[in-house]
Amino acid sequence: MTDGSTDRDEVRSGAGPDRAKVVIGGGLAAALLAVIGATGGWVLAGDQKSSRGPTLDASGSRAPTSEGSPTPRERPTTTATSQSARPAPNRTGLTVPELVGMDFEEAREELRDRGLGWQFVFGTGDSSSVRSTEPAGGSPVKRGTTVKVTVAGAAPESSVPDLIGDSCGEARDELTDDGFYPRYPTGRSGTVTAQNPTAGSVGRWNDVVQIWCGTTPSPESSDQP
């Protein structure tokens, strides 16, 4: 009688050994489900974050994140390359000599020594001094440049030399030294066969003297002396 009542009490109160096993098993299952649910939520949250992609700011560049700042986007830069045109420097160092106040024949020698040409413009006075030059004294020039020389006085007189029988080059140099300008009706090669004006004629600086080189002028030629 006593044993039967005891068994009934254990069944009513649920304190039997089988009941304890059921309670413990249910608790472990609940804990395991909680862990699995938390892990699945963390995985889903990571997938959603990675699927969004990088965040861009208003300029189109990648915005910085907690994982580090991205490399800034390179932008093209412009460099000013156009420069104002500048004249080429005078590499020879050749300049027009200071000739103002100098006798014009001495000025000619200065120009000749520097390999420069000359063109005299005479005035009406009696002075033979140089009044001005163009380009001005000290100006950088190239070899062979002709310098315009203005002389205060009138062109002086000069006697025409005898050029017959000279080579055309020799005749040219002699005329230039005496202040005349040679002209070549038949070319610049050969020996001088005729000239106009004739030798001994009195002329002035800057006058033109014609010389026939290599060919004798025909009587019908209008340039015949």
Q: Are residues 141 and 163 both part of a single domain?
A: no
Same domain, 144 and 174: no
Do 128 and 165 lie in one domain? The reply is no
Give the residue from 128, 154, 180 where a domain finishes: 154
In this predicted structure, what is the pLDDT of residue 217?
80
Range of the domain at 129: 104-154
Name the domain count of the chain. 2
Domain match, 136 and 173 both: no
Is residue 222 in a domain? Answer: no
Q: What is the pLDDT of residues 14-60, one digit of tens each?
A: 445 555 454 455 555 555 555 555 545 444 445 444 444 444 444 44
Is 110 inside any structural domain?
yes
Give residue 90's pLDDT: 58
- Shared domain check, 149 and 189: no
Same domain, yes or no: 149 and 162:
no
The total number of residues shown for the chain amounts to: 225
* Residue 168 within any structural domain of the chain: yes
Write the CATH number for 118: 3.30.10.20
Assigned domain for 14 exists: no
For residues 181 and 175, the answer to whether their CB atoms sit within 8 Å is yes
User: Per the domain annotation, does 170 fall within a domain?
Assistant: yes
Q: Which pLDDT belongs to residue 43? A: 44
108 with 135, same domain: the answer is yes
Extract the residue ranges of the chain whose pLDDT is less than 50.
1-2, 4-15, 20, 22-23, 39, 41-45, 47-61, 63-67, 78-83, 222, 224-225
Residue 200 domain flag: yes
Residue 219: predicted pLDDT: 63
Give pLDDT, residue 81.
45
| 131: in domain | yes
For residues 179 and 193, state if they share a domain. Answer: yes
Is residue 111 a part of any domain in this protein?
yes
Tell me, yes or no, whether 135 and 177 share the same domain: no
At 29 the pLDDT is 54
The pLDDT value recorded for residue 181 is 95
Residues 203 and 165 in one domain: yes
Question: Is the domain of 162 the same as that of 144?
Answer: no
pLDDT of residue 73: 59
Same domain, 164 and 149: no
> pTM score > 0.75 for this model?
no
Domain boundary among 154, 180, 196: 154
